[in-house]
Structure 1
Amino acid sequence: MALPSVQRVFLESVASTDPEGRFIEVNGIQTYYKKAIPQSHGQLLQNQQSIPNEPNKPVILLLHHFLGNLYTWRHHMQPLADNTGCHVIAYDRPTFGFTERPTKWEEGRNPYTQEASVEFAVQLVANLGYENRKIALVGVSGGGSIICGIAVKYPDLVHSLCLLAPSIRHEDQGPPPIGRHILGSAPGRLFLKIALYQYLPITLFYHNTNSIPDWETVVKPTYRVPLTLPNFYESVSWLMKYFVPLDLLPYKNVLAQKPILYISGDDDKYLHVDKHREVFDEIASSCPNVKMEFKVINECGHLPQDEKPQEVLNSVINFLLSLQI
């Protein structure tokens, strides 16, 4: 049996400080995730009773943003499970958090492409035992484009979409090609190391960091811890090098087949709220008979789950309950 890599051992050691975190292998990558189940289910387990099989209940999957990690959902996971009766999963996408960052891969299996991110999320759900369940998808920014990619490629798997300031338009997904080429080079990697060490978390993404719960004690540290982990800067550079935006809006008719909650901050400096409204209207007009909601959160920037966690949580819960989840 091959010995585990130094990277895997190190990541497991650092992550072990949180007893709720778990690892599972997905497509050969050691993946860090958390799962929340309704408290009523937890009580049944404590009493050594089986959890009732509810095949009609979807599983809720949360996808974080570029340079984020699953801790961005710390205010959301358990309340979502308790209020909907669903199991809730969040994970660190490859490159980020405590998930392994591959340094080599077989031809055609590059883990740093957008298409690979779509396949990875679907496989994670299957590996955790939910392959026969619909998925209620929640994604923020770049995570929003990935869940739309899932809805386009695997529409039969998708229950609904909750999009938080998503990057859906082709031109809004990441830097332009020349920027990706530069950031994917050796000099670009050095620039990333200097810039991220100095400026992460990027305050431009927020309306007012002083209003964010636990900004100094929790939010900033959870963004910065991955900077010290093995192969972080290399994997960010590879992510930029191999990044090709998902072509999503040409498939708006497919996206519009699913109920959609679209949330934007009124002070999104990365993608203006008017652009978000245009994208939502374009999708919603394709299928007017499907439930669609557009919500603007006041005094909020590009990452509403960080800045206004309770408002986001209430909106997602109310939306899912309205679908008789």
Structure 2
Amino acid sequence: MSRRVTGCGEHALRYSGDRTSRSLTFVPWSARRIVSLSGEGRPRRGCCLWRQRPLFRRNTRCGVHGQRATQVARQPRDAMMALGGESVSAAVPDDDDDDDDDDASRDALGLDAKLRSSPLTRVAAAVVGMVAAVIAYQGGRRVTAPVHPSPGGGTPPASLPSGWRVLRSGVLGAAAFLAVRWIAYNRAYTQQLQHPEQLADADSQFVDAAGIRVHVKACAPRDTAAAASLRKTLLLLHGFGTWLFSFRNVQQPLADRWQARVVSFDRPAFGLTERPRFVEAYTTEYSAKLTNELLERFSATSDDGDDDGFRCLIGHSLGALIAVRAALMRATPPQAVVLVAPAILAAPPPLRAQTSIGRLLRGLLLPFRVATATLLVLLRRAVFFALEFTATLSIYSLRAIVGRSRFWTTGLQSAWHDPRRITDEVVRGYRRPSRAVDWDLGFLRFLRARFASPPGVAGLVGQVREVATGASAFASANLVAALRQSGVPVLIVHGDQDRLVPLSNSERLARMLGCRLAVIRDCGHVPHEERPEEFMQAVLPFLDACDASARVVAC
């Protein structure tokens, strides 16, 4: 099957209807070209009338969350073109179901890691590399020259050995070639970024809270009678590297089955929430403050209008730590807290030496502990300064890593027990925020906040003292102790095949808190995604018991 370039005006529209690739391609009218495709998807060039050769040609696919081809057609030419023609996939009706399945497995958001450039760009990069190699080779012939030659003849000019000249020219040529390709890749990548509102779902909301614009989803029961008399609110907090998409399997079912308002939001540096410039927005304390503000804003009230509704925080992984901090920050603690695969260190504080032998051993090991702590602190500061002064290089490297589909597949496989459940829809959903403007800057700011250090020698000494004395273990133990003293009912849900946070950590945490631990069989780090039905079977009875207890206390 083959179809020709059609259209008029500034751009021409070409539809390639082969079985392996269907795309709507906008070609500059000044670069008219007629291409026919065979049934196997192998291009055969027809008549070509070139007036201008585009610098880039790459296929950018967009699906239900991306822009339609008709919308892209209305965009300005410089915004739509990447120095030339641009290809944007759209849903094309076809009677062949196999073709639809093929297209569904493709990247629907233009997230193909290899933004392919045109042959002209590759040739240009190769030419630059060869020129750099020739210059380096010729420059290696004479590295010194006689300044004042003697009457009997000057000293022969020194030169590098031939092997070294070849090696140096090859290295410089390869570096120049990769630099040109890298610049072209990042330029094309930047042109594909979109605003968060363009990537959001139809039921998404963007609200102003804690000084930033936050991406929120709020689900109410589908039963209108139950939705009119809501008094229960659940707030979901995602973990590191994820966003509210991870609660897609349980958010609406929780709202329907427990007759509650269920709210999820993207924390700063993740999802579609704004990436603010101030680093404090990426700290745990700020996320806890944001959590409480959203919980108050979306909380349901009782039938008589009093503010005595049921509130529960459900945090996954790193979100569990934020849920605990938010619960302890509130003047009135929530009625329940659910920790899903919590990334909270469950270790008792280091015991102080009580005997003379213990104090002696502690003193003998002190130099080794101080030296180790100093190395760790210096490494942490080196990472911070590297992120601070190599922002552009870090962004380019981050794009090259995150832009690859293998990166997301490998990361999800480490979190899931059954890789067969990781569908193309899941991968596309997780990759969607990486198409938002400033997502890379937000992630770098998040890392800076994690590696930030107090300035000066005093700050360095203080950090070394904290690491050497195990201050982090004390802080975690104090946090767990404070949660237990608050009297908030806690449930821990954990998968028995979790490779990221071991089940043994949650077992120790449950003993320290004196709470119940629900273990989900054949499940990894994401029970709410991998086993949503088992997850709700573990959570709903706990919520019913907490609600009944809260009603008794209120009476």
Bucket of the pairwise TM-score, normalised by the shorter protein: 0.7 to 0.9
- Contact 1:193/1:233 (8 A) holds in 2: yes
The alpha-carbon deviation at position 170 of structure 1 amounts to 8.3
- Contact 2:214/2:266 (8 A) holds in 1: yes
1:124 aligns with 2:294: yes
The alpha-carbon deviation at position 154 of structure 1 amounts to 1.8
Which of the numbers 31, 46, 51 marks the counterpart of 2:214?
Answer: 31
- Contact 1:155/1:254 (8 A) holds in 2: no
Q: Which residue of 2 aligns with 1:13?
A: 198
- Contact 2:232/2:259 (8 A) holds in 1: no
Offset from partner CA, 1:64-110 (integer Å, 9 cap, x none): 111111111111112212222221101111111111111x23xxx72
Q: Percent identity?
A: 24
Which of the numbers 182, 188, 193 marks the counterpart of 2:383?
Answer: 182
Equivalence map 1:1-325=2 (5 Å): 10-15=195-200, 18-40=201-223, 42-43=224-225, 51-52=228-229, 57-102=231-276, 104-105=277-278, 110-128=280-298, 132=307, 133-154=309-330, 156-169=332-345, 178=379, 182=383, 185=387, 186=390, 188-198=394-404, 199-201=407-409, 202=411, 203-210=413-420, 212=421, 215-243=422-450, 247-256=475-484, 257-284=487-514, 292-324=515-547
The alpha-carbon deviation at position 298 of structure 1 amounts to 1.4
* In structure 2, distance between residues paired with 1:196 and 1:169: 28
3-state SS of 2:332 partner: helix
The alpha-carbon deviation at position 142 of structure 1 amounts to 0.5
3-state SS of 1:270 partner: coil
3-state SS of 1:263 partner: strand
List alignment gaps of at least 5 residues for structure 2.
Answer: 1-193, 302-306, 348-375, 452-471, 549-555
Letter in 2 for 1:197: G
Letter in 1 for 2:287: S
3-state SS of 1:237 partner: helix
3-state SS of 1:162 partner: strand
Letter in 1 for 2:448: K
Could you tell which deviates more after superposition, 225-234 or 120-129? 120-129
The alpha-carbon deviation at position 146 of structure 1 amounts to 0.4
* In structure 1, distance between residues paired with 2:416 and 2:540: 23
Change in CA separation of 1:274 and 1:13 when aligned onto 2, cut-off 3 Å: same
3-state SS of 2:328 partner: helix
Change in CA separation of 1:161 and 1:44 when aligned onto 2, cut-off 3 Å: closer
- Contact 1:139/1:166 (8 A) holds in 2: yes
Change in CA separation of 1:190 and 1:296 when aligned onto 2, cut-off 3 Å: farther
* In structure 2, distance between residues paired with 1:96 and 1:252: 26
* In structure 2, distance between residues paired with 1:181 and 1:193: 22
The alpha-carbon deviation at position 155 of structure 1 amounts to 5.9
The alpha-carbon deviation at position 38 of structure 1 amounts to 1.9
Letter in 2 for 1:231: D
- Contact 1:180/1:241 (8 A) holds in 2: no
The alpha-carbon deviation at position 31 of structure 1 amounts to 1.0
Change in CA separation of 1:312 and 1:44 when aligned onto 2, cut-off 3 Å: closer
Please give the root-mean-square deviation of Cα atoms over the aligned residues, in Å.
2.8
3-state SS of 2:335 partner: strand
3-state SS of 1:157 partner: coil
- Contact 1:180/1:240 (8 A) holds in 2: no
Instruction: With a CA cutoff of 8 Å and minimum separation of 6, indicate the structure with the bigger relative contact order.
Output: 1
* In structure 1, distance between residues paired with 2:517 and 2:381: 31
Could you tell which deviates more after superposition, 197-206 or 133-142? 197-206
- Contact 2:232/2:299 (8 A) holds in 1: no
* In structure 2, distance between residues paired with 1:238 and 1:324: 39
* In structure 2, distance between residues paired with 1:219 and 1:146: 25
The alpha-carbon deviation at position 180 of structure 1 amounts to 8.5
* In structure 2, distance between residues paired with 1:197 and 1:35: 30
* In structure 2, distance between residues paired with 1:179 and 1:197: 26
Change in CA separation of 1:321 and 1:240 when aligned onto 2, cut-off 3 Å: same
Letter in 2 for 1:233: D
Letter in 1 for 2:325: G
* In structure 2, distance between residues paired with 1:218 and 1:228: 16
* In structure 2, distance between residues paired with 1:28 and 1:88: 23
* In structure 2, distance between residues paired with 1:192 and 1:170: 32
The alpha-carbon deviation at position 125 of structure 1 amounts to 2.1
* In structure 1, distance between residues paired with 2:431 and 2:510: 33
Change in CA separation of 1:221 and 1:227 when aligned onto 2, cut-off 3 Å: same
Could you tell which deviates more after superposition, 120-129 or 224-233? 120-129
* In structure 2, distance between residues paired with 1:115 and 1:192: 26
- Contact 1:180/1:243 (8 A) holds in 2: no
- Contact 1:148/1:248 (8 A) holds in 2: no
- Contact 2:233/2:299 (8 A) holds in 1: no
Could you tell which deviates more after superposition, 293-302 or 251-260? 251-260
Q: Which residue of 1 aligns with 2:85?
A: none
Q: Which residue of 1 aligns with 2:150?
A: none
* In structure 2, distance between residues paired with 1:275 and 1:80: 27
The alpha-carbon deviation at position 59 of structure 1 amounts to 1.2
- Contact 1:206/1:302 (8 A) holds in 2: yes
Change in CA separation of 1:302 and 1:180 when aligned onto 2, cut-off 3 Å: farther
